[in-house]
Every structure is written in structure tokens, then in C-alpha cells.
Structure 1
Amino acid sequence: MSVSGLPLYAAPQPDGAIDERKFVVALARGLELLRAFRPGETLLGNRDFVERTGLPKATVNRLAYTLTVLGYLRFDESLGKYALDAGVLSIGFTMLSGTDILELARPHLRAFAREVGAAVSLGCRDGLDMVYLETIRSETALTLGLASGSRLSMLTSSMGRAYLAVLPLDTRTALMAELEKAAGEDGPALVAATRREIETFGKEGCCYSFRDWHDDVNAVAVPFREPRERRWLVLSCSGPASSMGPDLFRQRVAPLLKALARRLGETV
């Protein structure tokens, strides 16, 4: 709610008054929409915004659209509601420094899995492997699923290849030498395949694994740098190769996954 266009939560001024000549009402109204979310709430609809801000429905529609374009809100088409997006984190990160990246990512992972109809995972490096921090599957996903804590080879998984792709050249060269040695007689072929995917990353901003990790699993992965700890994390999406072929991953899944990575952190 607001009085004379000024929000009730406006910060007190030294002289007890707000200079309306300098006050941007449109900006204040947009922030009112973001403040409409209460602790524990993840989704709000236009009716919720209208009731909580007192703004006209047409104004709410325009503001919500603008905030979505700018990355402060995310619209879930299946539910017809909005969720806070990562742009909110970027402008208030000091206050939210205690927020776990998994807590931030889960609503996005759920929405992505539902939209694509596959499994989406978030992982990080641990030694010579990639470890799954979280995996969310759609209700229709038939993918061979891996739970949190599962480990994957860097050389056969799209997640591992994407992680290697963003490392400094000298660091990557040394790590790949270790990986090749650990892989034994399969090492040279796996390293060669990984290098091809690193070249793909330079062109497309993602890495693929088509039946490399499992005979009936295709996957794509995109790395991003986590805002708080500045470490590289990787998003991956996997699906059954029998129904989700390479073209589907390149043309539909990869662009959506890259957009999700940009919401959660800094990308290449």
C-alpha cells in the first residue's frame, strides 16, 4: 500500500519529509512488487500483487513483465505465477550472504525439469570426479537418475567436460594428464573426446555427452561461477537417448540450460 504515491516503508529522511521531485514513483512501485513476497513464499500471482500493493492490475502486469525481462522475477507459465529470480540476489547479496546456492537454485531446477521433461542436476568438482549436489527430475523423466552425492567421471560426463572447459589452460592441462593416467588404457580416447567437447564449448558455451557415460543417456552441461564463493559449479540436463536425441539437446535444451546458468551466477 502507498500514500500519495510513496510507499509506507520509505526510509525516514533527516528532515522528516521526502522530496517528491527526486522520488521515482515507477521505481518504488516495482520494488513494492518484490517486497510483496513473504518469508517462505516462492510463487505469487498478479492477484496477490494487487492485494498486497494496492496497485491497479494493469500497472502490476506492466511492472511484473518489466521485472521478468530484467531478471528480478521469473514467470512460471504452467502455474501462471512469479518467483523471485537471481537478479534480486545480485543487488542484495551482502544481506543474503548466508543463502545456500542450493536453496536459491531448487525452484529454478524444478521449473526447468518440468518444462523440459527431463532430469536437471547441479554439481561441483571433488578430486578427479564431479559430485552431484542436487538432482531434480520431472514426473515424466525416464532418465537413469543419480542422487545427491553420486560421482561421475570428468572425462565421460558433460558436467565434467564443462568444468574442465572453464579452467585456465595450464590447470586444465595438468588435470587432464591426471585424468588420463587414472583412466588406464581408455585414457587417450576419453581425453581426445573431452578435448573435442572443450572445443564445442568455445563455439556453443556448453558441453555434451551423447551416450558416452551410459548407452541410453544423452546430456548437456553449462558451468557458472557461484556469486558468493566464486567457485565454478555446473548445471547438467540428461535424458534418454532413445527419445531425446542430439538435435533436441542442441536446439532446445542447451539454450534453456544456458539461460538458467545466467540466472544463477556468472557465465563465460
Structure 2
Amino acid sequence: MAIRKRRSPDTAEDETRNDRQFVAAIARAMDLLRAFTAEHSVLGNQELAERTGLPKATVSRLTHTLMQLGCLSYLPRFAKYQLAIGLVPLGQLALANMTIRHVAAPLMRHLGEETQASVSLGGRDGLCMLYIEHVSPRTAVALQLDIGSRVPLGLTAMGRAYYAVASDMERSELDARLAASDPARWPTIRDGLREAVEMHAALGFTTSIGEWNRTVHAAGAAFALPNGSGVVAMNCGAPAFLVNGDRILQEIGPRLAAVVRRIETLAGLAR
């Protein structure tokens, strides 16, 4: 007998299951769309069922509906789906409405040129950080990430910076969800997050020296948006063989913290 995979704790429906105004069908459709990533851009119904924990019959109805709406396109050769062009205007409009990107972009480019490292701006998406702006150095070697990329919140410099600036209530929610999503690694993740809170308060930045990916070293810093819509975080990092931990701590981290404070000033958040 087949055993259906339990749904991930990182779903909108799980977060709001007691909200009577919440429309579960929309949440399931969003979970399905989020299952597509840069690394897994073509998925079939069985793969989508495994990734979302939804019954295959439900997935089949959702993919059919989303295809009719222009959100998915079907590839007959593979009997699988990919995200369709109908989603592009929504994504472009969402990015255009984020004025913080326009404030941050010139400073990000300057920081990237100074450090010869990748610089990204992102916000929280579930238990991940979603890149909304990205600058790569003009070198042959750079981190293979771009706008729309997701990185784990609990282990990355960007995610740790976000956590450090988040409210106590949001941190408690994140603790519960991160612990449920990866019980075995949670003690290590928890210790890193607690350290990040103290480090961000003292130095204005956090680090991830190979904790997420042993080949990547990065610093992160975060701040609250002026309109009260949440927290954004920025990272600056490079392959470990180009940037060692000492340089992250002594040079890149302080420079990143200064850039983030400058963005706060420009956004009307000077302290």
C-alpha cells in the first residue's frame, strides 16, 4: 500500500488552518507553484504530489486548472509541467512595487565592485529567503544565484540576519516551524540563530561560514521596511576559496553593515 508523504510544515495552509476566512484551495495552488525551482523547473504530477504532500488526484485537478489559466504549460514529450508566461506580469508587477530595490541597487553594485563578491537583497518566503535583487561581480567565478532564487532561512547569512531583526513573535513562529521541518538539525540551527541575534545587535551583521554550503562564505544584514510591511535582508558572499572567514568578519561584514545603514537612511529609517 502506498503511503502518502506528509505535507511539509512550510505551507500557507498549515500556518492558517484555524482561519475561517482562509481559502485552502488557493493555498494548495500556491504550494504547487512554489514546488517549481530553478533546479527543478519541469515537474510531473507524481513529483508535485511528493513535493507538496497533496493527493495525486488533487494535484491533477490543480495542474489542469493552472494550465487553463496560463500559469502552467504542459510539455507532452515529458508528460510534465513548467511555469508559464502568464505568471511573468504578476512577478514583474510585484518587483516594480518594491521601491526598496531601486534604493538599494546602486549601493549593492558599488559593494559588489569593491568586494568582488555577489550581493543580494531578499525577503522571507516561508522558511526560505527569496532574492528580489541581485548583483554578481564581473569575474568568471560567482555564486550561481539570481532574482527569484530561494535559500534556507535557518542556515544562511541572509536568513540569520532576517531572524535577528524579526519580532519576538515571528521568531517564536519560526522556531516552531524550523524545529518541525528538520528535528535532527534543529539544535544546530537554533544555536546559529541565537548567535546571529547577538552578533547582529553587536556588529550590525551576521555570518554563515560554510554552514549552509561548505563552499560558500557570506555576511548578512537586515532592517525593517519604512511602511511596516516587514523586514528585508541583504547578503554579500563568494566561493570559500576566494573569500575566507577572516575577510568576511573583518572586511565584508562591516562594509555590508554600513551599506545597510545607508539604505535605512535613504529609506527614511535613520536611527
TM bin (shorter chain): 0.5 to 0.7
- Conserved in 1, the CA contact under 8 Å of 2:127 and 2:154? no
Aligned length: 171
Helix, strand or coil at the partner of 2:166: coil
Separation (CA, whole Å) in 1 of partners of 2:270 and 2:154: 21
CA distance in 1, matches of 2:257, 2:175: 25
Residues 11-30 of structure 1 aligned to structure 2 (within 5 Å): none
The CA deviation string for residues 184-240 of structure 1, in whole angstroms up to 9 with x for no partner, is 322222222222222222221211000011111001001022334552111100111
Tell me what 2:166 maps to: 167
User: Could you say what secondary structure the match of 2:236 adopts?
Assistant: strand
**CA drift at 1:125:** 0.6
Match of 2:221 in 1: 222
Alpha-carbon offset, residue 160 of structure 1: 0.8
Note closer, same or farther for the CA distance 1:240–1:148 as it changes in structure 2 (3 Å cut): same
Would the alpha carbon gap of residues 144 and 219 (structure 1) be closer, same or farther in structure 2, given more than 3 Å must change? Answer: same
Alignment gaps of 5+ in structure 1: 1-97
CA contact (8 A) 1:224 1:267 kept: no
- Residues 184 and 143 of structure 1: is their aligned pair in 2 closer, same or farther, counting only changes over 3 Å? farther
Query: Matched residues in 2 for 1:99 and 1:125: separation?
Result: 14
Matching residue of 2:234: 235
Q: Percent identity?
A: 32
The range that moved more, 222-231 or 174-183, is 222-231
* C-alpha distance in structure 1 between counterparts of 2:261 and 2:152, whole Å: 25
Q: Return the alpha-carbon distance in structure 1 between the equivalents of residues 140 and 133 of structure 2.
A: 16
Counterpart contact for 1:225–1:267, Cα < 8 Å: no
Distance 2:255 2:144 in 1: 20
Query: Quick one: distance in 2 between partners of 1:141 and 1:112?
Result: 18
Task: Report SS of the residue matched to 1:237.
Answer: strand
Q: TM-score with structure 2 length normalisation? A: 0.59
Q: Give deviations 1:134-175, integer Å, cap 9, x for gaps.
A: 110111262322111111111111111111111222331232
- Alpha-carbon deviations, 1:222-262, whole Å to 9, x = none? 10223345521111001111221111111111121111111
AA aligned opposite 1:112 = L
Q: Output the aligned Cα RMSD.
A: 2.0
In 1: Cα distance, 2:133 partner to 2:118 partner: 10
SS of the residue aligned with 1:199? helix
SS of structure 2 residue aligned to 1:121? strand
Paired residues for 1:119-134 under 5 Å? 119-134=118-133
Any conservation in 2 of the 1:161–1:207 contact (CA below 8 Å)?
A: yes
Q: Is the Cα–Cα contact under 8 Å of residues 118 and 142 in structure 1 kept in the other structure? A: no
Q: Distance in 2 between matches of 1:209 and 1:101?
A: 24
| TM-score normalised by length of structure 1 | 0.59
- State the alpha-carbon separation in 2 of the partners of residues 182 and 224 from structure 1: 26
Going from structure 1 to structure 2, the CA distance change for 1:121 and 1:141 (only over 3 Å counts) comes to: farther
Q: Following the alignment from structure 1 to structure 2, what is the Cα–Cα distance between the partners of residues 226 and 131?
A: 16
- The CA deviation at 1:267 is 7.1
Q: Distance in 2 between matches of 1:198 and 1:229?
A: 21
Q: Gaps spanning 5+ residues in structure 2: where?
A: 1-96
Match of 1:192 in 2: 191
Matches within 5 A, 1:1-268: 100-140=99-139, 142-265=141-264, 266=269
Q: Is the 8 A contact 1:113 1:119 kept in 2?
A: yes
When Rg is computed on C-alpha atoms for both structures, the one with the higher figure is 1
